[in-house]
Amino acid sequence: MNIVMIKIENLSNPKEFWHYFIEISKIPRCSGNEQRIREYIKQESENLGFKTEIDKVGNLIVSIPSKSENTIPLIIQSHLDMVCEKNENIMHDFSVDPLKLREIKIDGERWITAEGTSLGADNGVGLANSLALMKKISSKELEFDNLDFTIVFTVNEEEGLFGAFQIENDILKKEYLINLDCMSDETFVIGCVGGFYTIVDIKLERIELAEINKDLIPVKIYIKGLAGGHSGLDINKGRGNAIKILAKILYKLNKEFEIYIDVIKGGDNFNAIPRESWATLFLNESKEKLTQYLDELELQINKRLETFNDNLEIIIEDLDKSQLSNKIIEPKLQQRILSTLYLLPHGPILIHPKLDNFLHSSTNFAIINTKTSRIKIQYLHRSFDKQISSEVTEKIKALLHLGGLKSKVKPAGGYGIWDPDFTSKLLKTSIKCYTELNCEEPKIRAMHAGLECGVFADKCPELEMITMGPNVEACHSPDERLQVKSVEKFWKIFISVLKELSKIKN
Ligand SMILES: [Zn+2]
């Protein structure tokens, strides 16, 4: 790989974009630490002659009022924070050190990257495009007389859309919103699924281990080695869920051997497909027989997982009796629990009828935890239809009932659906501009994950929104890179859309 220092004059147009992209790369802005970048953009906006405002959670809002009577209110939005990731062998303090920008070539293509760290092109490209736009409006190089701009910079997108959730509804009461947090210059994103949480509580009854009156061996069974991944973006990839695999193994063991379970545990994050899980139990059989049985089962499961580029490892660990509780789950109840866990849903539910190869609804069996008197399970469903998520919750309830388990199932809140609107003026205008400039149609996509626009859609259903931006790859990693020529391609699309919008008569 050929690495060179970057010079603005060698980069693509507009130069204002690169000037700002390089400037903001000098300013630390990990999620939760947006003060300095916010101050820089605020100062710059005021120097350019625009009014600024900071809301109660730190979102920055810049106003560029329209000069005409026929005003079209429009929001340009991006997020201030970046994911700070670095390579192990690099000395870099994200709270003070500037990023070290470099140009690299991959297959002859020019990209900007940061040496050993994430680049923050997610969402530095949004900040730099907004600043470049303001600069060109201020210098009168660009004029959009009818557009009444509100430029919004949100805080802490990466750790849970915090700034978007807290933004005041009044700020969003505009006609259009262009979000600049898309990573592909040939794609417009026009929707995202909502997320809905469900909490399940199963009541346990335990008996004294001494009641079994047999010579039992205590063991721990670990499920490891799985790829996991994002519980939305990767849920359609067929990868193993460590909790579901453990449930299947325990269900089979319970039929094949005499087992007495103490604890079942797995997963630690709603947002991730569980990669690891374990159970502690007593076994009325030799460890050799268990090992032989699980080795065969591991082979069998891996044969299927292989097709989906995933791999499982089952590890058996010897335990001391003192490491387990001396009360085990009542055996008949155990059987019902294992059957129910084996049946509980996980994975894709429905394909979107209008978006190619796109998942409409899914569910992630995210976390399971065992306490003395109960098992707690946590789910995250994603869907374009709240009713489907409610049905999944209802089905979970029905299954637990069928299993004869004393349990509580309750929905635990959620966040916004951004339902694709194929008739939106903003979308039609964007497609027209893209097609004229590039002699081909753009790709229209939605995301099977939460976006800031989803939160905005909840707060202001009337707002027409679209997400667009230049090509950025390997976000959130030290390989993150921004394609040089894509900056210019995107800028032309962006400005052309704004010009076209400013012509729309209300
Ligand atoms: Zn982003």
Pair (59, 158) in one structural domain = yes
Q: How far away, in angstroms, is 482 Cα from ligand 1 center? A: 13
Report the alpha-carbon distance of residue 481 to residue 173 in Å, rounded: 34
DSSP helix/strand/coil, 480: coil
Q: How far away, in angstroms, is 23 Cα from ligand 1 center? A: 19
Average pLDDT over residues 281-290: 94
Q: How far away, in angstroms, is 164 Cα from ligand 1 center? A: 12
Q: How far away, in angstroms, is 469 Cα from ligand 1 center? A: 11
Q: For residue 447, give the CATH number of its domain.
A: 3.40.630.10
Give pLDDT, residue 268: 85
Report the alpha-carbon distance of residue 366 to residue 379 in Å, rounded: 5
Give pLDDT, residue 386: 92
User: What's the pLDDT tens digit per position in 300-359?
Assistant: 999 999 999 999 999 999 998 888 888 999 999 999 999 999 999 999 999 998 887 889
User: What's the pLDDT tens digit per position in 116-157?
Assistant: 999 999 999 999 999 999 999 999 999 998 999 999 999 999
Q: How far away, in angstroms, is 313 Cα from ligand 1 center? A: 34
- Give the domain-ending residue among 415, 448, 477: 415
CB 83 within 8 A of CB 118: yes
CB 466 within 8 A of CB 188: yes
CB 231 within 8 A of CB 379: no
Q: How far away, in angstroms, is 157 Cα from ligand 1 center? A: 7
Average pLDDT over residues 240-256: 97
- Give the domain-ending residue among 415, 431, 450: 415
Q: How confident is the model at residue 215 (pLDDT cuts 50, 70, 90)?
A: confident
- Give the domain-ending residue among 415, 449, 470: 415
Q: How far away, in angstroms, is 155 Cα from ligand 1 center? A: 11
Pair (463, 498) in one structural domain = yes
Give pLDDT, residue 17: 98
Give pLDDT, residue 505: 64
Q: How far away, in angstroms, is 292 Cα from ligand 1 center? A: 47
Q: How far away, in angstroms, is 476 Cα from ligand 1 center? A: 9
Pair (395, 424) in one structural domain = no
Q: How far away, in angstroms, is 181 Cα from ligand 1 center? A: 5
CB 264 within 8 A of CB 376: no
Mean predicted lDDT score pLDDT of the chain: 94
Q: How far away, in angstroms, is 123 Cα from ligand 1 center? A: 5
Q: How far away, in angstroms, is 299 Cα from ligand 1 center? A: 40
Q: How far away, in angstroms, is 472 Cα from ligand 1 center? A: 11
Q: How far away, in angstroms, is 166 Cα from ligand 1 center? A: 17
Pair (319, 343) in one structural domain = yes
What is the count of structural domains for the chain?
A: 2
Q: How far away, in angstroms, is 16 Cα from ligand 1 center? A: 21
Report the alpha-carbon distance of residue 175 to residue 426 in Å, rounded: 9
Report the alpha-carbon distance of residue 163 to residue 155 in Å, rounded: 5
Pair (148, 125) in one structural domain = yes
Give pLDDT, residue 68: 84
Q: How far away, in angstroms, is 350 Cα from ligand 1 center? A: 26
Q: For residue 327, give the CATH number of its domain.
A: 3.30.70.360
Sheet holding 176-179, edge to edge: 51-54, 60-64, 147-154, 72-79, 176-179, 464-467, 187-192, 443-447
Pair (449, 400) in one structural domain = no
Q: How far away, in angstroms, is 471 Cα from ligand 1 center? A: 13
Pair (468, 486) in one structural domain = yes
Pair (150, 87) in one structural domain = yes
Pair (302, 425) in one structural domain = no
Give pLDDT, residue 63: 97
Report the alpha-carbon distance of residue 83 to residue 121 in Å, rounded: 10
Q: Residue 10 above 70 pLDDT? A: yes
- DSSP β-bridge partners for residue 102: 113
Antiparallel, parallel or unpaired: β 109-114 and 481-483: antiparallel
Matching residue, tokens 């405002």:
53
Q: How far away, in angstroms, is 136 Cα from ligand 1 center? A: 24
Give pLDDT, residue 387: 94
Q: Residue 506 above 60 pLDDT? A: no
Q: How far away, in angstroms, is 85 Cα from ligand 1 center? A: 14
Pair (410, 422) in one structural domain = no
The residue that leads in pLDDT, 80 or 215, is: 80
Q: Residue 2 above 70 pLDDT? A: no
The two three-digit tokens of residue 20, written as one number: 């700002």
Q: How far away, in angstroms, is 502 Cα from ligand 1 center? A: 27
CA angle 195, 123, 99 (to 5 degrees): 135
Q: How far away, in angstroms, is 308 Cα from ligand 1 center? A: 28
Pair (343, 442) in one structural domain = no
Q: Can you give the residue range of the structural domain that contains 221?
A: 198-415
Q: How far away, in angstroms, is 78 Cα from ligand 1 center? A: 8
User: What's the pLDDT tens digit per position in 411-457?
Assistant: 998 888 999 999 999 999 999 999 999 999 999 999 998 899 999 99
Q: Residue 4 above 80 pLDDT? A: no
Report the alpha-carbon distance of residue 406 to residue 87 in Å, rounded: 49
The two three-digit tokens of residue 292, written as one number: 């032989």
Q: How far away, in angstroms, is 475 Cα from ligand 1 center? A: 8
Q: What share of the chain is helix, strand, coil (3-state, %, to 5)?
A: 35, 30, 35
Pair (113, 239) in one structural domain = no
Average pLDDT over residues 185-208: 96
Q: How far away, in angstroms, is 124 Cα from ligand 1 center? A: 9
